Structure 1
Amino acid sequence: MTVDDWLAAFAAELRRRRVEPAALVAEAAGHLRDSGRPPLQVFGPPTAYAVSLVDSLRGATTELRRPPSGEPRLAAVKIVKRYGRSTILDGVDLTVHAGEVVAVIGANGSGKSTLLRICAGLLAPDDGHVRIRGTLGYCPQDGGTADYLTPDEHYVLIGAGRGESRGAARAEGRAAAATLDWPRSSEAVTARHLSGGTRQKLNLVLAGLGDPGVLLLDEPYQGFDNGSYLDFWQQVWHWRDAGKAVVVVTHRLGELDRADAVLDLTPRSAR
């Protein structure tokens, strides 16, 4: 099944279920373009994905699905970001409590990655402010690793910034990598020679080093196979159970029931 055939079938099922398909099809098309993988591998059958997506959207709101279990760890208040004459974020609020997972969704260009970069302190907002309680771990959508360092050297480098010894950081990194089905053959390979999926696993491991209280994850499963993808969500729930505040930017709208709350950045006119 070609990408165009898959998108056409996806749109037809959305229409049949009385959901305007334009924004959702555009988002799916963008994700497929970015991933470079066949649609059946990324989303599965178009009809089944449309069904799960509609069910998730009808149950997804910006309200918490269960009472938060702890204090606010992240509070982004009235965030505004402009690029030239374009306003990317216009008064966005995001609060994440200890023991809570929030999914951030939205069409391409709606500001998902921009919001996470602002929350991580990598980008300054034009207005609004961010407050973080505790330490922070950040997993970018791409980049984030040093081409000529091995995974162990990454663990030691990031661990040093967390105040960990070389041995402790190395052991913690290796243990975390093992939970993501890390290929043993990659342990001594520099980052530039890792596959895209393995490199993203490294980013995810680095985000969790040193036991941060807040984790910001920008589509962290790019290039993961299905088993690693499920391992990723097990890790997210483990972090939640440990009282951490977790934010996951995602294109996979069918997974919204895995989070406790949802923030949709898609402009209302496009929904």
Structure 2
Amino acid sequence: MNHTTGTDAITKLPVVEAAAAVLTAGGIEKSFRRGTWPISHHQQVLRGVDLTLQPGEVVGLVGENGSGKSTIMKILVGELAPDAGTVVRSGVLGYCPQQPVVYERLTCDEHLELFARAYRMAHEAERRARRDLYEALRFERYAGTRADRLSGGTLAKLNLTLAMLADPQVLLLDEPYAGFDWDTYLKFWDLMARRRDDGRSVLIISHFVADEHRFDRIVKLCDGRLCEGQYGGQGVPSDDRSP
């Protein structure tokens, strides 16, 4: 579920390593048991992932399907425990999972009210954030629509809105623009640019990146580790301008 968390650490890293960073991960390992007994085995997915996210930085994380992108994201937000390694988080964190986790019978407005209370937002801050995000993503007309009656694209807008509602210092997005039309895709990047200008940080994972110039840097999962400077960008699909 989309959520925020205050300063949190699985294990404290030395201050010198994480002083300027808003998110630091070191030596993250994770394996999963595959198959059924007696022929089951452990498959190593992450083999020592190291990642640092600085203030005011937009970072892309790419990799093939099944490479472990969602696994590392779940570890970064604390949804999944690593087998080894450390994670240090600083400030409020917002999480937009790949699959929206919403309440089918609640409307968009009711979701925003519920999450605002969970974030302990003041009424004026919640009202302002609601207005701005509805306007930015252009789905205010669905404010009173139940989640189970939303299209895939509008549900993706709600998913992103819930992650951004409390204006977190760190925003972690797992395939956030899947289902967006081209117009919404561009507005998404306007929002990310404003966050960067405000000193906020964003980590976006995707199986492809259409616009490399919008990122400060892009890292790739290579055999269970992150490797910077080795991304070859697949670009926009040839049959569609939308992401």
The 5 A counterparts of 1:49-198 are 71-84=20-33, 85-166=42-123, 168-182=125-139, 184=141, 186-198=142-154
Alignment-mate amino acid for residue 147 of structure 1: E
CA–CA distance in structure 1, aligned partners of residues 152 and 85 of structure 2: 35
Greater helix fraction, Structure 1 or Structure 2: 1
Q: Unpaired segments of 5 or more residues in structure 2?
A: 1-18, 34-41, 225-231, 233-243
Amino acid in structure 2 at the alignment position of 1:110 = S
1:157 partner letter: L
| Residues 47, 223 of structure 2: 8 Å contact kept | no
Contact 1:140 1:217 in 2 (8 A): yes
- Contact 1:159 1:169 survives alignment (8 Å): yes
Distance across 2 between alignment mates of 1:80 and 1:121: 14
Query: Offset of 1:130 from its aligned partner?
Result: 0.8
DSSP 3-state at the match of 2:211: helix
Does structure 1 residue 241 correspond to structure 2 residue 197? yes
Cα distance in 1 for residues equivalent to 2:220 and 2:137: 28
CA offsets 1:150-190 (integer angstroms, 9 cap, x no match) = 11111111111221145542441232121012151x11111
Instruction: Report sequence identity in percent.
Output: 43
C-alpha displacement at 1:234, in angstroms? 0.9
Paired residues for 1:182-261 under 5 Å:
182=139, 184=141, 186-261=142-217
SS in 2 for 1:176: helix
Using a 3 Å threshold, how does the CA distance of structure 1 residues 148 and 165 change in structure 2: closer, same or farther?
farther
1:245 Cα deviation from its structure 2 partner: 1.3
Deviations 1:215-268 (A, max 9, x none): 000011111000000100111111111111110012233322211111100329
In 2, distance between residues paired with 1:253 and 1:179?
22
- Superposition RMSD in Å: 1.8
**Using the alignment, how far apart are the partners of 2:131 and 2:71 within structure 1?**
30
- Decide whether the 8 Å contact of 1:76 with 1:119 is kept in 2: yes
Distance in structure 2 (CA, Å) of the matches to 1:201 and 1:255: 20
Cα deviation 1:91-134 (Å, max 9, x = unaligned): 00110000001100001111111111111111111111111110
Cα distance between partner residues in 1 of 2:207 and 2:127: 32
Does the 8 Å contact 1:152/1:170 carry over to 2?
no
Distance in 2 between residues matched to 1:259 and 1:96, nearest whole Å: 13
* Structure 2 contact 65–207 (Cα < 8 Å) conserved: no
Instruction: Spell out the pairing of 1:5-24 with structure 2 (5 A cutoff).
Output: none
Q: Unpaired runs of 5+ in structure 1?
A: 1-69
Q: SS of the counterpart of 2:71?
A: helix
